[in-house]
A = this chain, B = another copy of it.
Amino acid sequence: MNKQRVLVLASGILGASILTAVQAADPKPQDVVDYRKAVYTVVGWNFKPIGAMVKGEIPFDAAAVARHAQYVALMSQAAPEGFTKGSGPDAVKDTEAKAEIWTNADKFKTAMTNFQQESAKLVDVAKAGQEADIKAQFGKTAETCKACHKEFKKD
């Protein structure tokens, strides 16, 4: 498994154009919300142990980081489908997504692209196996999460 292969997978077959992805089966707004929450639950499940390693709470394991980062990166590619128009706070109640996702779509797209790019780099860096580099790239990836949440997610 080389980095090209991973990136081809992440950006090719699985990629969907942000905000323009329309699910064929025309899901209901609540289904879209359930989906995006699920995507971020999988992201969190995989991101959390990397954070625990970076903080020294559990033993560092570059291979485990690579495996978890891979899922984070894949889910970052799956996320845009979860933000189709009509799935915002005007349509559903139990969402923390702010209306700005749709009213400031370009900025949201940039924030999402940052997440996708930095998590893809985290995969590469994890495979290279240098702990210091992994920690630095984990930080950069985490920053993309925070930046997007700050702007587009309710507290």
- For the complex formed, measure the closest distance between the CB of A13 and the CB atoms of chain B, giving whole angstroms: 5
Copies per assembly:
2
B67→A45 contact, CB < 8 A = no
> How far is it, in angstroms, between the C-alpha of A58 and the C-alpha of B24 when the chains are bound?
7
> Nearest 10 CB-CB pairs, A to B?
A38-B41, A38-B38, A24-B49, A25-B49, A25-B52, A35-B45, A24-B58, A25-B48, A38-B42, A1-B13
- For the complex formed, measure the closest distance between the CB of A58 and the CB atoms of chain B, giving whole angstroms: 5
Partner of A52, one of B24, B49, B74: B24
Could you show 9 A-B contacts with beta carbons less than 8 Å apart? A1-B8, A9-B70, A13-B67, A13-B70, A25-B51, A35-B41, A42-B42, A42-B78, A74-B74
> How far is it, in angstroms, between the C-alpha of A39 and the C-alpha of B42 when the chains are bound?
7
- Residues of B contacting A16 with CB < 8 Å? 67
B78→A24 contact, CB < 8 A = no
Residue in A59, A61, A70 with the greatest tally of chain B CB atoms within 10 Å: A70
A5 within 8 Å of B (CB atoms): yes
- Residues of B contacting A71 with CB < 8 Å? 14, 78
- For the complex formed, measure the closest distance between the CB of A122 and the CB atoms of chain B, giving whole angstroms: 13
Across the interface, name the chain B residue whose C-beta is closest to A5. Answer: B5
A27 within 8 Å of B (CB atoms): yes
Across the interface, name the chain B residue whose C-beta is closest to A57. Answer: B25
The proximity string for A residues 51-74 relative to B, scoring 1 for CB distances below 8 Å and 0 otherwise, is: 111000111010010110011001
